[in-house]
Amino acid sequence: MTYRTIRQRLLLSAGSTVIVSLFLAAAASSQASTTEAYQPNSALNDAPASTDFRPNAFQHHFWEALELQPQDAWSTLRDSFQWQEKNLPADAQARVDKWIEYYRSSPQNIAAITERATPWLAWITQQVSERGLPGEIALIPFVESSFDPSARSHRGAAGLWQFMPGTGDALGLVRNGNYDGRLDVVTSTAAALDYLEMQADEWYEGDLMLSLAAYNAGAGTVNRAQRQAQGQGLAGDYWELSLPHETMQYVPKLKAIATIINNPEQYGVSLPDIHPDPAFAKVQLEQPVSLAQASQLLDVSQSALAELNPGLLNGSLDPRSAQTLLVPEEVDTQVLAQLSQSNSTSLASTSTPSVHRVESGDNLSVIASRYNVTQQDLIRWNAIERPEALKPGQLLTLSGR
C-alpha cells in the first residue's frame, strides 16, 4: 500500500489554523526584532520612518517559521508524550538505559517495526490522545507485537495488543471461525485502552505504569508484589516491585523506545515518513461482503484491504461478527457510500462467478466464505461425498441452477 509523504500533504493537512498561527508568530518575531533595534537616543530616530519597516525580514521570519514546523505522525506523538521529562531513580533509569542501548544497537529492527506501524500509528496516537493518556501508550504495540496485527505468540496471544483468548473474550472481542476481534486493530485498540484505564482506576489509583505491569502479568501478580513492597515500607510504585522478569522489563522497554523516538537523531535512528492523519477510513456495512468484492468495487488491491482488515480470517466481512471495513483513506468517498448502501444481491452479482476451480490449500469453508454461500449448499450442488478430499483443479458449481 502507498501512503502519501509529508512533503506532498504538509500544506493541505496543516490548514488555515496552522498557517495563521505561524503568520502571527512570524509577525511577533519581526515586531520584536524591530522593537529591539529601536533605541530612543540612537541615530535610528533621525532616520526616515520607512527605514524601520523591513518586509524582506518579515517574509524571511515567516517562511523560516513554516520550515521549522513540519507535521507528521511522529511529531504529533512526541507532543503527546508525558513521561519523558520525569526523572527516575538511578537504578530505574539504568533499566531503561539498558534497553535504549539494545534498541540503538539494531537500528534496522527499529526501521522494520516503525515501517509496519505506518498504517496504524497516526490513528492509535489519536485514540490515545483523545483519552488524555500519555502518548507513550501508543507504543505498546512496539513492545507487544512489533506492530504486526497478525502476530501470534506460542502462548496463544494474538494481534497488535497481544490479547490472550480469555482476556479478549472478557473484553467482548468476538472470536469465531470467520473473525477474530483480537486481530481487528480498531476493536482491539479500544479494548486495550479500556482495559488499561479500567485497571488503573480499579486497582492503582490511576497509576498507568502499574496498570501496564498488570496488562503484562495480571493484576493478581502485581497486587501481591505491591503489598509485599508496601510491607517493607516502600510506596509500592512500579519501579519498586519485584515482578516476573518479563514484567520487570515491560515499562523500561516502553520508556526506551519512546526516548529514542523523542530524539531519533541523537540515537542514530531513521524513522519512516508517516502522515499525521489516519491512513484508513472506516465503512459501516450491514450486508456481507468479501474482500474480493470490495476490491473490485473500490478499485483497491485485495492485498491492501487484507492488510487493513486482518481480523477477517476468511477474507469476508459478516455483519454478525463485525460491521466495520477499513479501506485506504484515499478511496473516493462516493464509492464508500456506494459500498455502504449496496445490498448483498448487487454485490454478489458484480463479482461472483458460476464455478470455482479448486486450488491447493482450498477447503469448503474458505470457498463458501469467499462466495457468500454455505458449505452445505456447496456439498449439495456438487454431490460431494467427502468434503475433506477436494482436489486441485476440481470444478465446483456455485449455485443450484
3-state secondary structure the chain: CCCCCHHHHHHHHHHHHHHHHHHHHHHHHHHHHHHHHCCCCCHHHHCCHHHHCCHHHHHHHHHHHHHCCCCCHHHHHHHHCCCCCCCCCHHHHHHHHHHHHHHHCCHHHHHHHHHHCCCCHHHHHHHHHHCCCCHHHHHHHHHHHCCCCCCECCCCCECCCCECHHHHHHCCCCECCCEECCCCHHHHHHHHHHHHHHHHHHHCCCCHHHHHHHHHHCHHHHHHHHHHHHHCCCCCCHHHCCCCHHHHHHHHHHHHHHHHHHCHHHHCCCCCCCCCCCCEEEEECCCCEEHHHHHHHHCCCHHHHHHHCCCECCCEECCCCCCEEEEECCCCHHHHHHHHHCCHHHHHHHHCCCEEECCCCCCHHHHHHHCCCCHHHHHHHCCCCCHHHCCCCCEEECCCC
Is there a catalytic annotation at residue 144?
Answer: yes
Residue with cell 460491521: 323
115, 130, 144, 246: the active-site residue: 144
Residue type, 105: S
Sign, CA torsion 154/158/159/160: negative
* Cα end-to-end distance, the chain, whole Å: 39
CA 24, CA 62: separation in Å to the nearest integer?
Answer: 9
Beta-bridge mates of residue 284: 324
With beta carbons less than 8 A apart as the criterion, state whether 191 and 125 touch: no
With beta carbons less than 8 A apart as the criterion, state whether 375 and 387 touch: yes
Q: Which residues are catalytic?
A: 144
